[in-house]
Structure 1
């Protein structure tokens, strides 16, 4: 089996921070492109007359493709390195956006967004950057991953108002062409910053401390912690995507102006950047479990605020929903991802994380489609929002059960 291409000597701290900043920017671009679909959803409904469930199909397929392609992407980054993955991701995103601008049928949107752009976004996302960052910031892993994870929240926050303004001014086809130009202009040159020496070994173990086990995928799969992490990813995604994809549509349905709703929800989403960094950094000090439970609780409060909205006069409730839900959008990510790196360190972390991430894709696909289906059947998102709360509770329980470190079956038998 070939060795990972990015395993040079430890690099200077300044270079490590530059790599982290570059990863943040690349991830931001990919996240912005993918999250903008929440705004394009209403444009598709108005232009093509598709139902909410039909319009949600591309997003759901994207989550499935993102999840099931994760092991492949994780294995690719373990072998090809970050630079080549960013180049591939940037090219696919730009290609998918240009193609989407010319789409005329639902299957075209499903293929371009759900397959081409989703795979491209995976190539500039967590799966590519977490193994790199976790090796560079061993002792501050929670903080570093939280900074990286906050790019997802920042991209989500920026995408809603920016996309809405572009669609209003240029139409949804013109908006896609602008997004393609931005993605290509940022990602393709940025790949050069991830040179062959970009991986790094990270800090060495402290004197007197044994080096961590280098887990393989086969070993990890035989531990209960692996499957608990799978459930955590799945339940968290279900809870989040039962709400997030349809937030703007929900606000417009109850009477809010589309641009106003996009602005409020976008402003709330900007809180996710400090929220993600705070909870991820906090996990280094109070533990991953307590940090994640705090984030789950705040998200539930945000969903409850949405359930209480009855009309366009409930501005305060809309703001509270946007702030509480936005503050913790992705806030569990650093704790979950850092926990994965804590439990299963080694050069095969990308592959292990990729397989576990299938749970996230399954949950996101189910949540985003189910919310649209519930609306089509009941004319309301109430049941979907209640399901979100239930999923968050299940995720909390699964995360709490991760307190003990994993042991191989043979080690457990000897113990």
Structure 2
């Protein structure tokens, strides 16, 4: 469409941006590198003699590298745009996934590759997509973010059965080759060709509105800079909430399948439980997007984050079979809400002016928790032969930070009052 063309498309192009983001988020390093490692733990241990704590150390290297690199990626997104950061980052992730089956013979090689995926592939995470979607939508931002982030849930849903099938049928190396092929042959061209940065580039306005702007022009991004955000109590409350939740939820995720197979479940059934988390994430992200456009988001967060405390308690009590599937649903509700709420609350409390940089710092909190969680789960298992002690700790922590959401104030106003949801 040419700038100034008065003809409006039947479907607002912002929703095509959301659709592209759905696929891009489904192939992110969180799904293809981090979460998938749990499926490779047993075959890697059998072939190389590594224990689960040693293999989990790769996730710590990944998340520490990602935490250090993501604020830099966020600054790059603010300066150069999402697409110029996404494409090379996705390439790095795909090459890293190819390198694992080709090069790994020693533990240090695995650790280095995961660190490189985390650092050089940092821009392939949700940050660039959220920045772009926040530019395309205002009044329907929550729903758009939720719909896009459902893609991450799709990744968590289809990766376990796909990878488990490849491992069972052709060996663990084939699993990584398939993930790399999807990333390089589908992800890179789709993002490069179809992810548009801003509605202004196509002569459109956010949400597809036809009326004239009321205050600032769409290109004007309002909000705080990094130093201003760091001086607010809201930033540190959110930083704590997301960090603790990540420790519990993403610490559990790579150990879920090994935990259930230890209890006697078959590998295919255990992978289906993990897949259930992914399908629940898809549902939860669309639902949470709908709810936070209509209700005060911290109160919605309280309900959804408490769900995971219940699911973790069920796992601590020895859940298998149908009970394990129910626990997976409750955990998936929290995981589905977390990133949606992080992006949405970052825009509402700190604005869009420096969204990439501030969201990168907020995401670093999640990554700190994510880096510590898997190794904590692995160490507890190696020391005690059970995951129960760390599961009980995580259930308590999740309950505490769920109620911390009630300390958050009303949203800050950075735009016209009618476009701010309270």
Normalised to the residue count of structure 1, the TM-score between the two structures is: 0.89
- Give the 5 Å matches for 1:103-182: 103-113=104-114, 115-119=115-119, 121-182=121-182
Match of 2:331 in 1: 325
SS in structure 2 at match of 1:148: helix
Question: Structure 2: how far apart are the matches of 1:186 and 1:304?
Answer: 39
Relative to structure 1, the CA distance from residue 195 to residue 142 in structure 2 (aligned partners, 3 Å threshold; closer, same or farther) is: closer
Match of 1:68 in 2: 68
The answer to whether structure 1 residue 337 and structure 2 residue 343 are counterparts is: yes
1:202 to 206, 224, 234: 206
Question: Structure 2: how far apart are the matches of 1:121 and 1:393?
Answer: 33
What is the deviation of 1:64? 1.5
- 64-73 vs 301-310, which moves further: 301-310
What is the deviation of 1:261? 0.8
- 361-370 vs 382-391, which moves further: 382-391
What is the deviation of 1:195? 4.3
- How many equivalent residue pairs? 397
Match of 2:381 in 1: 375
- 197-206 vs 221-230, which moves further: 197-206
SS in structure 1 at match of 2:124: coil
What is the deviation of 1:19? 0.9
Task: Please list the CA deviations of residues 117-157 of structure 1 after superposition, one character each: whole Å capped at 9, or x if unmatched.
Answer: 22455322211111111121101111111112222221112
The answer to whether structure 1 residue 84 and structure 2 residue 90 are counterparts is: no
2:22 to 11, 21, 24: 24
For the 8 Å contact 2:157–2:277, the answer to whether it is kept is: yes
Relative to structure 1, the CA distance from residue 196 to residue 258 in structure 2 (aligned partners, 3 Å threshold; closer, same or farther) is: closer
Relative to structure 1, the CA distance from residue 121 to residue 152 in structure 2 (aligned partners, 3 Å threshold; closer, same or farther) is: farther
Question: Structure 2: how far apart are the matches of 1:283 and 1:231?
Answer: 20
Question: Structure 1: how far apart are the matches of 2:228 and 2:277?
Answer: 41
- 195-204 vs 373-382, which moves further: 195-204
What is the deviation of 1:74? 0.4
For the 8 Å contact 2:349–2:411, the answer to whether it is kept is: yes
Match of 1:192 in 2: 193
Question: Structure 1: how far apart are the matches of 2:252 and 2:199?
Answer: 37
Match of 1:54 in 2: 54
Question: Structure 1: how far apart are the matches of 2:200 and 2:383?
Answer: 50
Question: Structure 2: how far apart are the matches of 1:305 and 1:209?
Answer: 50
For the 8 Å contact 1:86–1:187, the answer to whether it is kept is: no
Task: Please list the CA deviations of residues 84-132 of structure 1 after superposition, one character each: whole Å capped at 9, or x if unmatched.
Answer: 222112210121011101211111111112x222245532221111111
What is the deviation of 1:219? 1.3
What is the deviation of 1:395? 2.2
Match of 1:14 in 2: 12
The answer to whether structure 1 residue 267 and structure 2 residue 273 are counterparts is: no
For the 8 Å contact 1:90–1:120, the answer to whether it is kept is: no
Which ranges in structure 2 are unaligned for 5 or more consecutive residues?
414-422
Task: Please list the CA deviations of residues 33-62 of structure 1 after superposition, one character each: whole Å capped at 9, or x if unmatched.
Answer: 122112112221111111211110001111
Question: Structure 2: how far apart are the matches of 1:233 and 1:307?
Answer: 22
Relative to structure 1, the CA distance from residue 358 to residue 9 in structure 2 (aligned partners, 3 Å threshold; closer, same or farther) is: farther
For the 8 Å contact 2:309–2:396, the answer to whether it is kept is: no
What is the deviation of 1:323? 2.2
For the 8 Å contact 2:246–2:367, the answer to whether it is kept is: yes
Question: Structure 2: how far apart are the matches of 1:333 and 1:372?
Answer: 25
Match of 2:98 in 1: 98
Match of 1:4 in 2: none
Task: Please list the CA deviations of residues 261-280 of structure 1 after superposition, one character each: whole Å capped at 9, or x if unmatched.
Answer: 11232134312101121122
Relative to structure 1, the CA distance from residue 212 to residue 198 in structure 2 (aligned partners, 3 Å threshold; closer, same or farther) is: closer
2:394 to 385, 388, 403: 388
Question: Structure 1: how far apart are the matches of 2:221 and 2:195?
Answer: 26
Question: Structure 2: how far apart are the matches of 1:336 and 1:16?
Answer: 21
Match of 2:32 in 1: 33
For the 8 Å contact 1:24–1:147, the answer to whether it is kept is: yes
Question: Structure 2: how far apart are the matches of 1:206 and 1:299?
Answer: 42
For the 8 Å contact 2:136–2:198, the answer to whether it is kept is: no
What is the deviation of 1:199? 7.2
Aligned residues: CA RMSD: 2.6
The answer to whether structure 1 residue 349 and structure 2 residue 361 are counterparts is: no
For the 8 Å contact 1:224–1:406, the answer to whether it is kept is: no
Question: Structure 2: how far apart are the matches of 1:37 and 1:223?
Answer: 37
Relative to structure 1, the CA distance from residue 29 to residue 208 in structure 2 (aligned partners, 3 Å threshold; closer, same or farther) is: closer
What is the deviation of 1:284? 1.3
SS in structure 2 at match of 1:245: helix
Task: Please list the CA deviations of residues 303-327 of structure 1 after superposition, one character each: whole Å capped at 9, or x if unmatched.
Answer: 12212226xxx42212212222233
Normalised to the residue count of structure 2, the TM-score between the two structures is: 0.87
Question: Structure 1: how far apart are the matches of 2:71 and 2:267?
Answer: 38
Question: Structure 2: how far apart are the matches of 1:234 and 1:316?
Answer: 30
Task: Please list the CA deviations of residues 321-350 of structure 1 after superposition, one character each: whole Å capped at 9, or x if unmatched.
Answer: 222223332323212320111011123110
Relative to structure 1, the CA distance from residue 173 to residue 263 in structure 2 (aligned partners, 3 Å threshold; closer, same or farther) is: same
